[in-house]
């Protein structure tokens, strides 16, 4: 499903067939065959380029501008249209060569969803018409601009001009227009687009692409009766041609027109009677997108009764179970999917791994994280982070060190950077003693390094080497007097672990003067005020910190401050999230992201809306 919708949404033109007969070979309408044309749509406009035939002169570029053109052409041929656009735009205005203007138009056609590009597309199209008024290419590109300017008559005339120039290419021209209007939607021109679609489907009703254009136009305009009626005609005449419906669904999803999307897909399911797996996936995706979870579940379950070993249906079932908060059921379903050999580019394995993680089965999770990264390079980073987290949680120091060393080697890190990677990794995972041992070993090598000196002081405190930490922080402040974090940390240690509250307050106040909006600084200043029994000030600063972060330590501080003032009701409202629960929430977020990735591969729709 993903392949179809994604291709359709990004495509901008096609390789069409020249056959104008009223009977067509049904195989050309199968999704895979037709999709090949859709994917190459915009490039087909090259077949209309007729500047040399019109004897239009070619510009003589300066040496500098010729270099710009060569670089732009390299990007253009690589499909990097957004990067080539600005160069062609400059050269088009500089030389008024229609060949360059045309390439600028193609670049902006590929990125017409950005308002600035839409304006430049119109500018380039007008320039092409001015420079090459008799060119079919210029008139072909101007049709969309005519529609957006609500000039229905001009759009009709330009279409007739282009088609009459070569009637054998009518299907290709209509398909090119279909992809062209899919790029950018301007609601103010919907009425004109609808009228133009009415004209096209009536004037060129012998061509399948006329109906395709109409479904797209009616989808953009939200014209339900016309859309469903056109889909009925397509099904009656080309029963295995699914692309128009998928294309329509993609547009409606993009426009968040959920009501018409739901109606259209339900209509198609009823029309077909026995939907194939692609249509099943789209139907389930739409039901989930519109929060009709029970209906989606009933649909999948009824189809599983007919095909109990259908891996595609089992993926949908697992997604529904996840949406119903049945993580165990989702895991069970995905394990059946995995055993069938379906992996959806590693997304099944990533989802299985994260669900195992959530159920506190790290050993089982590890192998699936590794497999997901191996199957899909785009999942590699997420998998590596999860693997490292698992190693840390299981205290597998040897594996952690090997993992970090391999990562450092792959990134070509220096020995200093490698040590900092190890220290920061252990510190962030709250493995403070391991982190301290590394920095304690390396500090002699990097005594003048600010990062190492800070870690040495910080980790001394975190491993309860308090006196050493105080001494090191004072040295740190002396060497780096403009770094607020040194004053803040020292102030917190003095307030929390010594009776030197006034000294703590002074350091905290210094940090506050440098970083008044930093939640950590606000918490430290609030805690120092609390130890000095200045409860009103303590409450003010700590509450600001709590609102910003919901941090566990800050929450505990605020609770104590309220209780010290006898504000029991406010104290009871402060939510102190245990560290273990925070880790569970993090793991749940990993599951959420993994399942979103799975939904994308299964459905091809953005389900994060």
Per-residue confidence (pLDDT) for residue 250, from 0 to 100: 86
Per-residue confidence (pLDDT) for residue 305, from 0 to 100: 93
Q: How far, in Å, CA of 317 to CA of 332, rounded? A: 10
Side-chain-side CA neighbours of residue 163 (13 Å) = 21
DSSP-based three-state secondary structure for 444: coil
| Tokens describing residue 294 | 């029970």
Q: Which pLDDT tens digit goes with each residue over 59-92?
A: 788 888 899 999 998 988 888 888 999 999 999 9
Other Cβ atoms closer than 10 A to 272: 14
Per-residue confidence (pLDDT) for residue 232, from 0 to 100: 95
Residue carrying the six token digits 């590890």: 366
Report the candidate in 545, 559, 550 with the shortest Cα–Cα distance to residue 488.
545
Per-residue confidence (pLDDT) for residue 52, from 0 to 100: 62
Per-residue confidence (pLDDT) for residue 5, from 0 to 100: 41
Decide: pTM greater than 0.75. Answer: no
- Angle at the Cα of 532 (from 526 to 536), degrees rounded to 5? 50
Q: How far, in Å, CA of 157 to CA of 196, rounded? A: 11
Q: Give the single-character DSSP code of 22.
A: S
Q: Is the dihedral of CA 200, 201, 204, 208 positive or negative?
A: positive
Per-residue confidence (pLDDT) for residue 605, from 0 to 100: 52
Q: How far, in Å, CA of 106 to CA of 141, rounded? A: 9
Q: How far, in Å, CA of 221 to CA of 334, rounded? A: 39
Question: Which residues of the chain fall below pLDDT 70?
Answer: 1-23, 35-56, 112-113, 183-188, 577-588, 604-609
Per-residue confidence (pLDDT) for residue 157, from 0 to 100: 94
346, 372 Cβ separation under 8 angstroms: yes
Q: Is the dihedral of CA 188, 192, 196, 202 positive or negative?
A: positive
Per-residue confidence (pLDDT) for residue 42, from 0 to 100: 52
32, 273 Cβ separation under 8 angstroms: no
């Amino acid at each position: 499903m993903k392949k179809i919708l994604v291709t359709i949404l990004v495509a901008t033109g096609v390789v069409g067939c020249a056959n104008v007969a009223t009977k067509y070979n049904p195989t050309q309408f199968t999704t895979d065959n037709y999709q090949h044309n859709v994917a190459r749509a915009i490039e087909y406009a090259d077949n209309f380029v007729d500047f040399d035939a019109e004897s239009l002169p070619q510009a003589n570029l300066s040496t500098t501008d010729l270099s710009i053109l060569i670089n732009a052409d390299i990007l253009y041929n690589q499909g990097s249209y957004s990067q080539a656009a600005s160069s062609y735009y400059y050269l088009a205005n500089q030389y008024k060569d229609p060949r360059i203007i045309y390439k600028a138009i193609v670049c902006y056609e590929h990125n017409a969803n950005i308002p600035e590009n839409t304006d430049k597309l119109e500018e380039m199209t007008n320039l092409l018409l001015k420079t090459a008024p008799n060119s079919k290419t210029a008139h072909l590109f101007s049709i969309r601009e005519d529609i957006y300017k609500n000039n229905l008559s001009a759009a009709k005339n330009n279409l007739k001009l282009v088609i009459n120039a070569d009637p054998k290419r009518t299907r290709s021209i209509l398909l090119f227009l279909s992809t062209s209007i899919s790029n950018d939607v301007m609601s103010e021109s919907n009425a004109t687009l609808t009228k133009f679609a009415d004209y096209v489907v009536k004037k060129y009703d012998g061509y399948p692409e006329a109906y395709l254009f109409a479904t797209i136009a009616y989808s953009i305009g939200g014209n339900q009766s016309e859309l469903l009626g056109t889909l009925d005609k397509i099904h009656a005449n080309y029963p295995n041609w699914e692309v128009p419906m998928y294309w329509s669904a993609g547009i409606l999803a993009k426009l968040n027109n959920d009501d018409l999307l739901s109606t259209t897909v339900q209509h198609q399911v009823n029309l077909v009677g026995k939907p194939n797996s692609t249509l099943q996936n789209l139907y389930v995706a739409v039901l989930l997108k519109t929060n009709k979870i029970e209906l989606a579940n009933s649909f999948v379950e009824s189809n599983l009764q007919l095909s109990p070993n259908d891996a595609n249906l089992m993926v949908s079932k697992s997604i529904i179970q996840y949406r119903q908060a049945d993580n165990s059921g989702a895991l069970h379903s995905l394990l059946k999917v995995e055993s069938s050999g379906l992996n959806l580019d590693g997304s099944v394995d990533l989802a299985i791994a994260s669900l195992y993680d959530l159920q506190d089965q790290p050993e089982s999770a590890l192998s699936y994280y590794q497999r997901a990264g191996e199957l899909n390079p785009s999942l590699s980073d997420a998998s590596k982070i999860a693997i490292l987290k698992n190693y840390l949680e299981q205290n597998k120091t040897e594996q952690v060190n090997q993992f970090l060393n391999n990562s450092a080697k792959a990134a070509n890190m220096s020995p200093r950077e490698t040590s900092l990677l190890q220290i920061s990794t252990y510190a962030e995972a709250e493995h403070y003693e391991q982190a301290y041992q590394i920095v304690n070993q390396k500090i002699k090598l990097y005594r003048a390094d600010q990062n190492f000196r800070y870690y040495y002081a910080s980790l001394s405190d975190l491993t309860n080497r308090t006196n050493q930490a105080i001494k090191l922080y004072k040295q740190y402040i002396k060497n780096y007097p403009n770094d607020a974090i040194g004053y803040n940390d020292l102030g917190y240690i003095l307030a929390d672990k010594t009776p030197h509250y006034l000294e703590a307050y002074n350091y905290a106040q210094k940090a506050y003067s440098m970083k008044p909006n930093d939640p950590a600084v606000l918490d430290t200043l609030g805690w120092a005020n609390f130890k000095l029994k200045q409860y009103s000030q303590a409450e003010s600063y700590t509450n600001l910190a709590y609102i910003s972060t919901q941090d566990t330590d800050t929450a505990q501080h605020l609770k104590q401050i309220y209780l010290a003032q006898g504000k029991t009701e406010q104290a009871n409202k402060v939510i102190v999230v245990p560290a273990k629960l925070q880790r569970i929430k993090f793991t749940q977020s990993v599951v959420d992201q993994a399942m979103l990735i799975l939904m994308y591969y299964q459905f091809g729709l953005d389900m994060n809306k």
